Amino acid sequence: MDINRKVIEVTVIANREISSAIIEGLGSIGIDYFNSAAGRKILLQGRTGIMKLFGSGKTLVDDPITIISFLVSPDTEGAVVNYIIEEGALDIPGRGTVFSKKATLVKAHEECQENNPKDVQAKKAKIPSGLAGVCCIVHKGEGNSIGKIGLDTGCGVPAITFGTGTGLRDKLGLWRITIPAEKELVNLVTTSHDARHLMEIMIDLGALDQPGRGFIYLYPVKMGMINTKTYVGMSSQAASVEQIVSIIDEIRGGSSWRRREFSSRSGRPKKRKYLTDLLNCILICNEGRANDLIKVAKSAGAGGGNLTKLKHRSAKKDESGKISPAREMSEMIISRSQIDTIAAALEEHGAFDDKTYGQLFCSPVSRACTYLGHG
């Protein structure tokens, strides 16, 4: 089904213990269906007690999170984001993150359109803008070292999920990308100014511009309430640094006041090649169909993808029972010129029929980096 309609993708990254309240609340405001995935965030923790004898540095601790995502119509974006902030108390640092970004719903089964909530009642908050996200795809076991860069620089709290690569030495246009079979995806949203510098540091420390090391991309964010609590432990002050930052963000109406300069390891910015004019093409479908459809997309010019398991949740009773609660999501970074060809090929092979219940949408990617070969 041809759509090509402008929508908003909303993503919530919440602590596991509060995610159920947010999920229950979404149904009450008319978010009829959404997807969720399990993940973890990492935080810094100071050494205490006898552990101080083994060093004065900070250790990393894991905390389970639930990642919730769905599409809404653009005119409901602000109300929905405000509702999630209020319902999850996400204006309190440490509880989670919610953000939105522009997307285009390219094709979808008629039961997999965007949500259209009505009369959402929520207290209006000053939601920061001027944000951007960094997503880094690395070998399994390397997520912590990449995510820690966000903590050490104070940029924010990374969310880490597991995925499966759908091919080695895949082609993305004229570029070749090495994607390991088992990988970790590190996702962090921060100010747009910090995101560019964070990306540079991640590339340097992760050697992501070297053969087989990984893939990283930067994407624009419209608005969001970002978790700034990077440290575990009790504060001895009346208010934590994170709470003070949150209040100043609200007073200033954004996060641009937090602009700062980063120093590169060599003391000067490194010149490197970036991929530009890209899209993050996302296909969500019933479990068991994604691998075949990824092969179709690859034959149409895509360069493979990252396959993640999702859980489909619906506030409506699905009498047909064909939309499986077990869903799969494939993310493919492609050039803008490829989207129509890939979408047509997927439709021809049944991606949006009553067996697959597919949903295909895409969002802009500002820049990306991986090994591009020499010359």
pLDDT band at 203 (very low <50, low <70, confident <90, very high): very high
CA distance 118 to 146: 40
CA distance 96 to 17: 11
For residue 174, the model assigns a pLDDT of 41
For residue 175, the model assigns a pLDDT of 45
CA distance 42 to 158: 7
Tokens representing residue 140 in the block: 């399994």
For residue 288, the model assigns a pLDDT of 95
Q: Tell me the average pLDDT across 179-194.
A: 87
Evaluate if residue 180 carries a pLDDT over 90.
Answer: no
Percent of the chain exceeding pLDDT 70 equals: 80
Evaluate if residue 305 carries a pLDDT over 90.
Answer: no
For residue 269, the model assigns a pLDDT of 55
pLDDT band at 237 (very low <50, low <70, confident <90, very high): very low
The whole-model pTM stands at 0.86
For residue 239, the model assigns a pLDDT of 43
Contacts of 82 (CB under 8 A, 6+ apart): 120, 122, 123, 124, 125, 127
260-291 per-residue burial string, b: 16 or more CB within 10 A, e: under 16: eeeeeeeeeeeeeebbeebbbbbbbbbeebbe
Evaluate if residue 75 carries a pLDDT over 90.
Answer: yes
Evaluate if residue 177 carries a pLDDT over 60.
Answer: no
Evaluate if residue 373 carries a pLDDT over 60.
Answer: yes
Q: Is the dihedral of CA 299, 302, 303, 304 positive or negative?
A: negative
For residue 167, the model assigns a pLDDT of 54
**Which residue intervals of the chain are DSSP H helices?**
16-28, 77-88, 143-152, 192-206, 241-252, 290-299, 339-348
Percent of the chain exceeding pLDDT 90 equals: 66
Q: Tell me the average pLDDT across 135-141.
A: 94
DSSP-assigned letters across all residues of 120-182:
----------SEEEEEEEEETT-HHHHHHHHHHTTS---EEEEEEES-SSEEETTEEE---SE
CA distance 240 to 373: 46
Evaluate if residue 40 carries a pLDDT over 50.
Answer: yes
**pLDDT averaged over every residue in the chain:** 85
Report the range of poorest mean pLDDT among 188-202, 204-218, 307-321, 329-343: 307-321
Q: Tell me the average pLDDT across 311-338.
A: 85
Q: Tell me the average pLDDT across 311-321.
A: 73
For residue 3, the model assigns a pLDDT of 81
297-318 per-residue burial string, b: 16 or more CB within 10 A, e: under 16: bbebbbbbbbbbbbbbbebeee
For residue 39, the model assigns a pLDDT of 97
Q: Tell me the pLDDT tens digit for each residue of 350-367.
A: 999 999 999 999 999 999
